[in-house]
Chain A
Amino acid sequence: MSEEQENTPKNNPIDLNKPEQPANPPSGFGPITPPPFQQQPPFGQFGGGMGQQNLPNSTVALVLGILALPACCFYGIFGLIFGIIAWVLGAGDVKKYQLNPGVYTESSFKNAKAGKICGMIATILSILFIVVVVLVVAGAITNPEAYDRFFRGFK
């Protein structure tokens, strides 16, 4: 199978460049060799699994989902942004795959799912941290003395 797939791209240009080849063989070995040349290209184009595309956003979703974790500094805002983008892109691609599974490759579907889950985890962590930030800021503003007593602060 893999040999056929490798052969087709090499054979295509030969077919295009030398249309005379099928004309030459009638005398000798021709009838044996040309048919595979003529038959293989349609197989390679339609049936060889090359017709499936990758989902458009699966890679972006995966990379953003993973980068969202170290990006949770700076009040959790960047982690939240990256995480939500990864989540939305991944979920969109998963839906797209489920609508017509034959069109897209399975590996990109797995990547999209992984990106969605990584985005989810990063989003949850960022939201947790944002809640902590809000509580700490509220505590520090409303009750500075108790805040200083509670946290050791600069060190």
Chain B
Amino acid sequence: MILQQLSFLDWLNSHLFACPFKSYFGLDCPGCGLQRSLIALLKGDLSASFKFYPATIPLIALIIFTLLHLKFDFKFGAALIKISFFAVAVIVLINYIYKIYNHQLTA
């Protein structure tokens, strides 16, 4: 059973959607790494998931919390969603700038 799961993840790993921007211009887009990060998370490797794309875990937590909020209607749910969404957006932005600056600029 575990073997089956692992092979499925490996299959998934070799069948990711290619980023059109990266394949044409060689430059990462702000979402690059999300799929690899998700697969690392499915494998249970939190640190690898964080290294591929730091915003994955907060983003998934945000989505789960939003679903719970829509179901149970927490009192401060909407405000918390706003704040954490802003935080995730900042993480995405910083991660993108960092990645381009450190790994893809030749200068």
Task: Report which A residues bind B (CB closer than 8 A).
Answer: 59, 62-63, 65-66, 69-76, 107, 110-111, 113-114, 117-118, 121-122, 125, 128-129, 133, 136-137, 140, 149-155
Contact = CB atoms under 8 A, between A and B. Distances in A.
A62 B69 CA distance: 11
Contact of B25 (A72, A76, A137): A137
A75 B82 CA distance: 25
B98 interface: no
B30 A129 contact: yes
5 contacts: A66-B85, A73-B34, A74-B21, A111-B69, A125-B89
Interface of B: 19-21, 25-27, 29-32, 34, 59, 62-63, 66, 69-70, 73, 77-79, 81-82, 85-86, 88-89, 92-93, 103-107
Contact of A69 (B73, B77, B89): B89
Given A73-B19, A137-B25, A140-B25, A62 B81 contact: yes
Helix, strand, loop or mixed for chain B's interface? helix
B78 to A, nearest CB: 4
Contacts of A129: 29-30
A66 B66 contact: yes
A153 B82 contact: no
Contacts of B88: 69
Contacts of A121: 85-86, 89
B29 A70 contact: no
Contacts of A73: 19, 21, 29-32, 34
A117 to B, nearest CB: 5
Contacts of B77: 110
A150 B19 CA distance: 21
